[in-house]
Amino acid sequence: MKTEGGPPLNLNPEPHAASDRRRLRGGAPIQIGLLGCGTVGGGVLRLLAENSGYLAERAGVPLVVKRVVVRDLEKERVSALDRGLLTTSAEEVVDDPTIDLVVEVMGGETPARALIERAIDRGKGVVTANKLLLAAHGPALIARAAARQVDLAFEGAVGGGIPIIRTLRDAFASDWVERVTAIVNGTCNYILTRMRDTGASFEAALREAQDLGYAEKPDPSLDVDGHDAAHKLIVLAMLAFGAQVDSGAVHTSGIRTIEEADHRYADRFGYTIKHLAIGRDLGDSIELRVHPTLIPKQSVLANVSGVLNAVLLEGRAVGPSLVYGRGAGDLPTAVSVVSDVLDVARSIASGVAGMQGRGMSIKPRRVRPLSEIVSRYYLRFAVEDRPGVMGRLAGALGDAGVSIEQIVQQGPTKASQGAAPAGGAAAREPAVDVVLITHDAQEGLVRSALDAIAREEFLREPPHLFRIEEP
Ligand code: NAP
Ligand code: HSE
């Protein structure tokens, strides 16, 4: 087949490209330095070993692990590891001129950041799954890699095995992403699913998640207080909205305050509670927030259960699009990391390193303060059951300009079953739950109503507030 007056079209360029790559490097393998051999590093070694023939075919040259960096040389490791490769000297690996590509799966900021910078400065490709580091220093690392014309790839950093980074960077590069609504923390999603499905308390569901290895022991706060999801949202915002954001600018709340009763009331109103990472591009600013959210029971995200993750993207041209799957674990995350290794290796072997960050524009953007966001709200108040209370609640909301859509009262609550007042004081009225759903309201107005209600003596415990989204 020939084009009009042009050269013949090559409809199957891949075999030629592979042999060109072999010629470029003289068939020399891509040598990998692996920093870390824990959960993800072990999975990476397994995948590289099990799929070596196929990966070499795809890369055009063999992919060979040359050194593996750990802290403890004696620890038991995956059988795919040749223990002769182990070292504790990360600097030596990063400085080794025969190593082409560094895979950082140690985690944390120190020494990972300095090692990645050093690898980039020595002209090596880098693959990392470190969302904490990317949330803090992603734009600077991407710029550094671009300046050195090397690749920095990080598919494993968000959503484990689900291809969300590539989707945003490549597949949706031609569109304008307006909204990202994501379940990106499997631990929170597991705990909330168990609370909803079995009526378990937060504490019981957390213990179960810890026993199954989903939540960290003894301190699960990175996950259950929302910080892990916030790190991932910052990485997503970098790609979706070209935004450089400080983690302090992302409103972040976790799932500790959710009680069994909240799941029951949410269900009664037709919702389920999910821990969501939400990003919106509003043109002059962006919204970035991580918090428990009520979403309609029949929505797709409501049915993402257990440890699974999902990211719902809404593009101006493409409309809604969902990626869904296993967001953590050795092999799912290794699939993303090794696919990055393959991409970066291919670029090195083809002599076109540095393509990953090309044309990427990441700039500081204003994050809209929470007080300015507009949402519907679920509010639950434990109040004394006596005349006038409902009126004063509704009055405080009305005075602030917040309109009520639905309201129910049910009791007695847990707050009414506490110990009797000390010193023979008169018993208080029993407490009941008043639960209401507002119409769209600005958060600042809702907060000022809650401040007024907090001064009322009929309130037995701090109110529960959750935002409602209709993704
Ligand atoms: P991990 O199981 O704790 O493994 C960390 C590895 O790094 C260990 O082999 C450890 O050595 C080594 N290491 C840590 N600090 C070191 C240091 N200063 N010097 C030398 N070696 C050091 O962690 P992981 O779960 O595999 O996570 C790794 C990265 O992937 C993190 O950034 C994490 O956020 C990210 N990630 C994890 C998952 C997941 O499902 N686990 C999913 C997505 C992304 P020793 O073994 O000797 O202690
Ligand atoms: N701790 C994370 C989660 C997995 O629970 O989703 C690593 O990203």
**pLDDT tens across 282-329, in order?**
999 999 999 999 999 999 999 999 999 999 999 999 999 999 999 999
Q: Which two tokens stand for residue 382?
A: 């434990």
Amino acid letter, residue 419: A
Amino acid letter, residue 414: K
Residues 350, 294, single domain; the answer is no
Report the interhelical angle of 14-24 vs 330-350 (nearest 10°). Answer: 70
Ligand 1 in contact with 92 (CB < 6 A)? no
Say if 250 falls within a structural domain: yes
Say if 447 falls within a structural domain: yes
State whether residue 217 is helix, strand or coil: coil
Query: From the CB of residue 115, how many other CB atoms can be counted at a distance below 10 Å?
Result: 22
The atom number, within ligand 2, closest to the CA of 229 reads 6
Residues 193, 295, single domain; the answer is yes
Residues 150, 215, single domain; the answer is no
Ligand 1 in contact with 99 (CB < 6 A)? no
H or E segment to which residue 86 belongs: strand 86-87
CATH code of residue 438:
3.30.70.260
Q: Give Cα 11 to chain centroid, integer Å.
A: 39
Say if 309 falls within a structural domain: yes
Ligand 2 in contact with 228 (CB < 6 A)? yes
Say if 263 falls within a structural domain: yes
Q: What are phi and psi of 342, to 5 degrees?
A: -60, -45
Residues 176, 321, single domain; the answer is yes
Ligand 2 in contact with 328 (CB < 6 A)? yes
The reply to whether 36 sits in an annotated binding site is yes
**pLDDT tens across 418-466, in order?**
545 455 555 677 799 999 999 999 999 999 999 999 999 999 999 999 9
The atom number, within ligand 1, closest to the CA of 39 reads 26
Atom 38 (ligand 1): residue with closest C-alpha?
328
Say if 13 falls within a structural domain: no
**pLDDT tens across 155-182, in order?**
999 999 999 999 999 999 999 999 999 9
Say if 11 falls within a structural domain: no
Catalytic residues: 232
Residue 367's beta-bridge partner residues?
A: 286
The atom number, within ligand 1, closest to the CA of 106 reads 7
Amino acid letter, residue 325: G
Number of domains comprising the chain: 3
Query: Range of 103's domain?
Result: 18-160+331-361
CATH code of residue 79:
3.40.50.720
Atom 13 (ligand 1): residue with closest C-alpha?
106
pLDDT over 50 at 203, yes or no: yes
Ligand 2 in contact with 187 (CB < 6 A)? yes
Residues 188, 303, single domain; the answer is yes
Ligand 2 in contact with 330 (CB < 6 A)? no
**pLDDT tens across 24-79, in order?**
677 899 999 999 999 999 999 999 999 999 999 999 999 999 999 999 999 999 99
Instruction: Check residue 1 and give its pLDDT.
Output: 36
State whether residue 65 is helix, strand or coil: strand
User: Looking at 164-304, which runs of residues are DSSP E strands?
Assistant: 177-183, 243-244, 251-252, 271-281, 286-296
Name the pTM for this structure. 0.93
Instruction: Check residue 471 and give its pLDDT.
Output: 84
Distance CA 17, CA 21 (A): 6
Instruction: Check residue 160 and give its pLDDT.
Output: 95
The dihedral through the CA atoms of 335, 340, 341, 345 has a sign that is positive
Say if 9 falls within a structural domain: no
In testing the pocket of ligand 2, which one of 133, 185, 192, 222 has its CB within 8 Å of the most ligand atoms?
Answer: 185
The atom number, within ligand 1, closest to the CA of 77 reads 46
Instruction: Check residue 415 and give its pLDDT.
Output: 66
Residues 175, 274, single domain; the answer is yes
Span from the CA of 382 to the centroid of ligand 2 (angstroms): 34
User: By C-alpha distance, which of 307, 311, 306 is closest to 183?
Assistant: 311
